[in-house]
Amino acid sequence: MKEHQIIEQMIEPIKKQMTEIDENKKVNSAFIEIIVDFIRTYADHCHHGKEEGILFRELGKRDISQEHSKTIRELIQEHVYARKTTTQLQKANENYLNGDSRSLTDIRKCLNDLAELYPQHINKEDNSFFHPSMDYFKPYEQEAMLQEFYEFDRKLIHEKYSKVLDEMKEISLKP
């Protein structure tokens, strides 16, 4: 899956940032902001959004195996964990920018947690869930889901930058 390949590519830069923290006791806060945005927008809103909002919804209408039901619950828990960890990472970065050097430990931990989570999460999806889950759908149903995925992606960029514009307006109105 193309989305998984893109998400996996973020692991190496995260590991390099962890090495930078270990060796130099400092963090590139702009990098952290980029990672937070990437995870929230691409990994979570785009990728996890399609899983939870389309695939899992459609599987919920089927009589699926207990194993697949269990896997869906695990995947959702992992999505929640990634969201929570990303929020903690953002907060730790804000603390660092405000002069709290102790937040380096929190940043390092969050980066490590995300770098460990995503490869095993993707492996679970790719190797034991997605392909077998397609057996629950007829080819025309699979095609309908793909079309819904495309429509979801098409709208995403507009949602993202409408939000950015709203944030810009809010900042410009502050005294």
Give the pLDDT score at 173. 72
Instruction: Work out the average pLDDT over 20-40.
Output: 95
Domain of residue 21: give its range. 2-138
Separation CA 130–CA 162 (nearest Å)? 32
Contact between 47 and 3 under an 8 Å Cβ cutoff? The reply is: yes
> Domain for residue 143, yes or no?
no
Separation CA 102–CA 25 (nearest Å)? 10
> Domain for residue 156, yes or no?
no
pLDDT, tens digit, 9 for 90 and up, residues 79-120 = 999 999 999 999 999 999 999 989 999 999 999 999 999 999
Mean pLDDT of the chain: 93
Cβ neighbours of residue 119 under 8 Å, at least 6 residues apart? 8, 11
Separation CA 65–CA 73 (nearest Å)? 13
What's the CATH code of the domain at 54?
1.20.120
Q: What percentage of the chain reaches a pLDDT higher than 90?
A: 85
* pTM, two decimal places: 0.88
Does residue 175 carry a pLDDT above 80? no
User: Looking at per-residue confidence, does 174 or 170 come out higher?
Assistant: 170
| CA–CA–CA angle 86, 94, 77 (5° rounding) | 15
Does residue 156 carry a pLDDT above 90? no
Separation CA 130–CA 146 (nearest Å)? 13
Tokens of 155: 């709208």
